[in-house]
């Protein structure tokens, strides 16, 4: 079969190469992949990874071989799945506790956007508890995680503030459910915030920490701007009961299998209460080019590549 792998000798460092089909553990199903989604984290790692490393977290397709232990779904079931690496391949072995079935109304393309972006938004917001009536700030709201988080927070009854880098994205994010928007790094206008999801780090995270409400929580899950953060400790502890939570999806999924969150997200997609924003679609043979476009921020939504 073919799979995407790192090759430092080529432009973009990503190629399609022939590899062996995966062998299956008893609790794994073999999925024939129809669509994959790209995330900045795996693309960044591919820029420094050793030759032969196989990236990829998000996939959607059909069950080719069901799990030998009887868990999971039968042959031919349409599914979405998540793996720690190697999802960008024609066939992927996926643990059955990281797979959710898809109704016919949910496309492979839409489903492929869910695992990393959707689960990060879902679990990140959950750190804030019951969101009804709470003030929620989402930085980098135009990104894959942010776009899902705006929708999920709005449906949970939160008052949603979306932070953006550019003013021409305001209508885009308000259509997703944001009540109000901030352009730039000054976050005081609608503060304080009970729940903050931040993917940027740097000055923006510093400002977010200073804008937190009493007993509020700031969930940081990325440092796209800067990993070094200097903040006003007095204003932070002075809020009273505020907390800063370091979020890594792989750690969260040790507590709750990916299948549970994926099933919730699929139901929301099927009910048209959640909608991904797919800004790039292409054949997976264009993986290196699309990955570079993602790294260069040439588009604001998700990138989905099709394998057939």
- Per CATH, the number for 2-115+257-306 is 3.90.180.10
| CATH 3.40.50.720, the chain: domain bounds | 128-246
The pLDDT of residue 297 is above 90: no
Cis peptide before 27 (omega within 30 of 0): no
| CATH 3.90.180.10, the chain: domain bounds | 2-115+257-306
155-204 pLDDT, tens per residue? 999 999 999 999 999 999 999 999 999 999 999 999 999 999 999 999 99
Residue 52, pLDDT score = 95
233-245 pLDDT, tens per residue? 999 999 999 999 9
pLDDT over 90, % of the chain? 93
Q: Does domain 128-246 correspond to CATH entry 3.40.50.720?
A: yes
Residue 88, pLDDT score = 98
The pLDDT of residue 209 is above 90: yes
Q: What is the mean pLDDT of residues 54-61?
A: 98
The pLDDT of residue 108 is above 90: yes
Give the pairing type, strands 28-37 and 58-65: antiparallel
In the chain, which ranges are continuous DSSP H helix? 40-46, 108-112, 119-126, 144-155, 170-176, 202-210, 233-238, 249-255, 258-270, 287-295
């Amino acid at each position: 079969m073919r799979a995407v792998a790192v090759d430092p000798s080529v432009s973009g460092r990503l190629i399609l190469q022939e590899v062996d089909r995966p062998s299956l553990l008893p609790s794994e199903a073999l999925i024939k992949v129809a669509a994959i989604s790209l995330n900045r984290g795996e693309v960044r790692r591919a820029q420094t990874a050793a030759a032969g490393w196989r990236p990829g977290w998000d996939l959607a397709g059909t069950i080719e071989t069901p799990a030998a232990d009887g868990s999971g779904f039968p042959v031919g079931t349409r599914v979405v799945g998540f793996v720690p690496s190697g999802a960008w391949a024609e066939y992927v072995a996926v643990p059955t506790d990281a797979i959710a079935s898809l109704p016919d109304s949910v496309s492979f393309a839409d489903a492929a956007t869910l695992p990393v972006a959707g689960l990060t938004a879902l679990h990140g917001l959950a750190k804030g508890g019951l969101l009804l009536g709470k003030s929620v700030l989402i930085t980098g709201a135009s990104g894959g995680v942010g776009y899902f988080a705006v929708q999920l927070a709005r449906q949970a009854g939160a008052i949603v503030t979306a932070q953006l880098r550019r003013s021409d994205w305001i209508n885009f994010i308000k259509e997703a459910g944001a009540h109000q928007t901030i352009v730039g790094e000054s976050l005081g206008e609608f503060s304080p915030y009970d729940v903050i999801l931040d993917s940027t780090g740097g000055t923006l995270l510093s400002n977010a920490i200073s804008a937190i409400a009493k007993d509020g929580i700031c969930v940081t899950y990325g440092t796209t701007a800067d990993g070094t953060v200097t903040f006003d400790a007095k204003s932070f502890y002075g809020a009273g009961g505020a907390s800063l939570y370091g979020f890594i999806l792989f750690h969260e999924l040790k507590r709750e299998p990916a299948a549970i969150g994926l099933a919730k997200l699929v139901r929301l997609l099927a009910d048209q209460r959640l909608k991904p924003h797919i800004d790039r679609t292409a054949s997976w043979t264009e993986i290196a080019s699309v990955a570079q476009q993602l790294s260069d921020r040439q588009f604001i939504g998700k990138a989905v590549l099709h394998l057939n």
